[in-house]
Structure 1
Amino acid sequence: MLPSPISKIILDGREFLVKRDDLIDPYLAGNKYRKLYSLINTPKDTLNKLISYGGTQSNAMLAIAALAKSKGWDFIYYTKTLSKQQKEDESGNFFHARNLGMQHKELDRAIYRDYVASLRVNLDNNSLVIEQGGAIQDARVGLEVLAQELRQQLLKHKDVKALATPSGTGTTALFLALSLPEFTIYTTPCVGGVSYLREQMQALHDIPKNLVILSPKKKYHFAKPYKEFYAMYVKLQTVAIEFDLLYAPAMWEALLEQTEEKVLYIHSGGVSGNESMLRRYSQKSFFNL
């Protein structure tokens, strides 16, 4: 479904636009659809195996699993050692990814970093390693398609000169800024801090001047429940669009506190993970779900 539509919302008395990339596909949506765009259009007989690594809450993991299943490719995913509860959980991204055929491999924490660094050693031509979060150079292809859509759609919204997208590795924000130099691109780190985000981006390309990183008011640990994130999730429910609990709260918090102009938020999908995240929030004594 392309191009994805744009919705208008009012939040804290401010008007925002939302690029509805969450509507593209239940699993392969949002920025993961854009990052994996070139692979989506790769002929089935080009590859037979995808390999990646990361956490069990990863939206990229689920998107790659859905892509591999659609192509008939094997998908091997490496994580650090999991708890019994994580393995037996029958909800959330990890559960759905395994149901789509993902082969899960656990690595001891002591060897995890070195092992994933060696995944490309002796890799055959029919296999592809996708970096954590989908941070690959080919991601730029899909993000240029997104940039073309936005440039055309925003002809009807000439008062919008700023876009926003949350960051894990920063791949989406970086390539979008490179493709749309006439717009300010806001982002904020959701994995690690500003320094980590800059390092991840600079590994792919020099950071352009129109890319503005908004610093979070404190250091957040990825996928950990925070009272202010749940409060933001509840506030966002008033606009009749469901947003994810992993990335969206941090980005909206930064936008509301650190910007003033009209902004278009690019919905990065990932709402499939809310099922397990909401259960984790419900276990906190300061929530009443």
Structure 2
Amino acid sequence: MLSGITPFHFPGLNCFVKRDELIDPLLSGNKYRKLYTLLQTPPETYNTIISYGGTQSNAMLSIAALCQQKGWKFEYYCKPLPNKLKTQPLGNLKMALHLGIRLIATEDYKQTINQLQSHGKTLLIPQGGADPLAEQGITALADEIKQWQTHQGVQDLHVVTPSGTGTTAFYLAKHLSDCRVLTTALVGDNVYLQQQMQLLGTMPNNLKLLEPKHKYRFAKPYPEFLETYQSLKQAGIEFDLLYAPLMWQTLLNHKQEIQGTILYVHSGGLLGNASMLQRYT
């Protein structure tokens, strides 16, 4: 089994955590799973990888690490950077630049990314790794969960994972047909998340979207998120500060509806916490 599963007690909830954050410092969590197919791909298959998104993206850093391993060029498109970040890069951006990323900031961001495409030995990876290429790695994750479930004799298993594009939740539900997969829309609302998932195929019946108690703007620092992050860390496991707090809050709000064992899949992304924490000071 690639990553272990440990018991975890968070005030008001006893569950288990799939420790995918321990796979690799740079390639960990759902990004490792999404990029698994490319990790197995011979270096000569491609010479350039293109992607786009935010400048503190966990996916950006993981793809940069992958490209360094494979000897591929990595071109990453983003919106214009603030002057301070240009002169003093930090967090995931600083590490990605060290790994050799070519950052292309553009004023016409939406128009530019709409024109990007794969061709020849150049591969386009959509924002966040939301691509059918991700299925192989997430299938392997589902297989590891099934092995653990069988070994532990767990009957009613609820697998929890936060969603940006929903790629991980979608493919987990597809390949864990005997389990219930629970997720929460962290970028946009449930309608947006369903639209993103439907690009990958028909929504699995065992996939449930949990509604947050409040609406939040994605990536904006909220005091209650920091409090949840700190409480989780004090309980024994550090989670990412971008996705995990709202997922845990929503899970706690819906715990009375869940009958059975809960397994939370750790999404990794811990290296991004440094830049997020600076926004709370």
The 8 Å contact of residues 57 and 223 in structure 1, kept in 2 or not, is answered as: no
Aligned equivalent of 1:158: 154
Write the letter of the residue equivalent to 1:8.
Answer: P
2:123 aligned to 125, 128, 131, which one? 128
SS of 2:242's equivalent in the other structure is: coil
SS of 2:279's equivalent in the other structure is: helix
Aligned equivalent of 2:279: 280
Task: Give the drift of 1:146.
Answer: 0.5
SS of 1:264's equivalent in the other structure is: strand
1:171-250 paired onto structure 2 within 5 Å = 171-250=167-246
Task: Give the drift of 1:264.
Answer: 0.3
The 8 Å contact of residues 213 and 253 in structure 2, kept in 1 or not, is answered as: no
1:11-90 paired onto structure 2 within 5 Å = 11-90=10-89
Identify if the C-alpha distance between structure 1 residues 19 and 252 changes in structure 2 by more than 3 Å, giving closer, same or farther: same
**TM-score where L is the length of structure 2:** 0.96
The 8 Å contact of residues 162 and 185 in structure 1, kept in 2 or not, is answered as: yes
The 8 Å contact of residues 24 and 30 in structure 1, kept in 2 or not, is answered as: yes
Instruction: Please identify, of 271-280 and 90-99, the stretch whose mean Cα deviation from structure 2 is larger.
Output: 90-99
Aligned equivalent of 1:286: none
The 8 Å contact of residues 160 and 264 in structure 1, kept in 2 or not, is answered as: no
SS of 1:192's equivalent in the other structure is: coil
Task: Give the drift of 1:124.
Answer: 3.0
Aligned pair 1:257/2:256, yes or no?
Answer: no
Aligned pair 1:119/2:116, yes or no?
Answer: yes
Aligned equivalent of 1:5: 4
Question: How many Å separate the matches in 2 of 1:22 and 1:160?
Answer: 25
Question: How many Å separate the matches in 2 of 1:148 and 1:159?
Answer: 16
Identity %: 48
The 8 Å contact of residues 163 and 186 in structure 2, kept in 1 or not, is answered as: yes
Question: How many Å separate the matches in 1 of 2:4 and 2:243?
Answer: 21
Task: Give the drift of 1:269.
Answer: 0.1
SS of 1:281's equivalent in the other structure is: coil
Question: How many Å separate the matches in 2 of 1:80 and 1:58?
Answer: 13
Task: Give the drift of 1:14.
Answer: 2.0
Aligned equivalent of 2:136: 141
SS of 2:7's equivalent in the other structure is: strand
SS of 1:36's equivalent in the other structure is: helix
2:165 aligned to 169, 176, 180, which one? 169
**TM-score where L is the length of structure 1:** 0.93
Task: Give the drift of 1:194.
Answer: 1.2
Cα RMSD, aligned residues only:
1.2
Question: How many Å separate the matches in 1 of 2:20 and 2:173?
Answer: 17
After superposition, give the CA deviation of every residue in 1:194-244 in whole Å (9 maximum; x if it has no partner): 111111101111111110011122222221101111111011012221100
Write the letter of the residue equivalent to 1:256.
Answer: L
The 8 Å contact of residues 186 and 246 in structure 2, kept in 1 or not, is answered as: yes
The 8 Å contact of residues 154 and 160 in structure 1, kept in 2 or not, is answered as: no
The answer for unaligned runs of 5 or more in structure 2 is none
The 8 Å contact of residues 185 and 211 in structure 1, kept in 2 or not, is answered as: yes
After superposition, give the CA deviation of every residue in 1:43-75 in whole Å (9 maximum; x if it has no partner): 001101000000012111110000000000000
